[in-house]
C-alpha cells in the first residue's frame, strides 16, 4: 500500500511539475509579447508625435501659397489688361496712320 501511495505522489508531482514548467514558459512568452507591444507603441508614438506640428506647418504653407497664387493671378490679370490696352492703342495708332496717308493729297509741283 505504501508503494502505491509513493507512486501516485511521484506521478502527481511529475504532472504538477510539468504544469508549473508550462506556466513558467507561458509567462516568459507573455513578457516577450508585452515588450514587443510596448516597443511598437513607443516607436509609433515617436513617429506620430510630430505629426500635428507637421500638419499645421503644411496647412500654413498651403494657406500662404494660396494667398501668393491669388496675388499672382491679380498681377496676371493686370498685365493682360495692360497688354490689351497697348494692343488697342497700337491698333488705333495704325488706323490713324493709315487714315493720314489716305487723306494726304499728293502735292502738285508748280512748274
CA-only gyration radius of the chain, Å: 47
Spatial distance between the Cα atoms of 47 and 103, rounded to a whole number of angstroms: 82
Q: What integer pLDDT is reported at residue 101 of this predicted model?
A: 79
The structure's pTM equals: 0.48
Q: What integer pLDDT is reported at residue 107 of this predicted model?
A: 62
Spatial distance between the Cα atoms of 28 and 36, rounded to a whole number of angstroms: 12
Q: What integer pLDDT is reported at residue 110 of this predicted model?
A: 62
| Residue pLDDT tens, the chain, 111 long | 999 999 999 999 999 999 999 999 999 999 999 999 999 999 999 989 988 988 999 999 999 999 999 999 999 999 999 999 999 999 988 888 887 777 766 566 665
Amino acid at each position: 500500500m505504501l508503494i502505491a501511495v509513493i507512486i501516485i505522489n511521484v506521478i502527481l508531482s511529475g504532472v504538477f511539475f510539468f504544469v508549473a514548467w508550462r506556466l513558467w514558459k507561458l509567462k516568459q512568452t507573455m513578457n516577450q509579447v508585452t515588450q514587443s507591444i510596448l516597443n511598437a507603441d513607443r516607436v509609433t508614438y515617436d513617429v506620430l508625435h510630430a505629426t500635428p506640428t507637421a500638419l499645421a506647418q503644411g496647412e500654413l504653407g498651403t494657406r500662404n501659397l494660396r494667398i501668393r497664387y491669388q496675388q499672382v493671378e491679380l498681377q496676371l490679370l493686370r498685365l493682360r489688361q495692360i497688354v490689351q490696352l497697348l494692343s488697342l492703342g497700337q491698333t488705333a495708332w495704325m488706323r490713324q496712320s493709315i487714315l493720314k496717308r489716305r487723306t494726304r493729297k499728293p502735292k502738285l509741283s508748280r512748274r
